[in-house]
Amino acid sequence: MIYMGLMKIERICARLRDAGLPADTPAAAIQNGTLPTQKVISATLAELPDAIERAGLSAPTLFVVGAVAAFAETLGWRDNADAILKEADQA
């Protein structure tokens, strides 16, 4: 987990690769986590800086690097949050 590294993400990713992490290590960037405006970008460590730029992410952004990042989009809890809350209210 890397907090507030958006402005230096290219350098951070390069350093992680230089330290031995494979370029194809799963990585994710999460902007505005837990908020209705949350955005999630999933990529490899090598692709993450370009993917962030294409998506136009801005701070605050959290970065997750490693196997758990591969689950970033499949979990999608935020996409289902309204339905889950509505169901709970009806119970």
Residue-wise pLDDT for 3-35, tens only, equals: 989 999 999 999 999 999 999 999 999 998 888
* Tokens found for residue 83: 């339905």
* Tokens found for residue 21: 């992490």
Whether the per-residue pLDDT at 84 is higher than 80: the answer is no
pLDDT score, position 86: 66
Residue-wise pLDDT for 39-72, tens only, equals: 899 999 999 999 999 999 999 999 999 999 888 7
Between 90 and 67, the more confident residue is 67
- Are 26 and 67 a contacting pair, CB within 8 Å? yes
**Helix (H) or strand (E) run with residue 31 in it:** strand 26-31
Instruction: State the pTM of this model.
Output: 0.79
Q: Which residue has the tokens 């370009």?
A: 50
Between 26 and 76, the more confident residue is 26
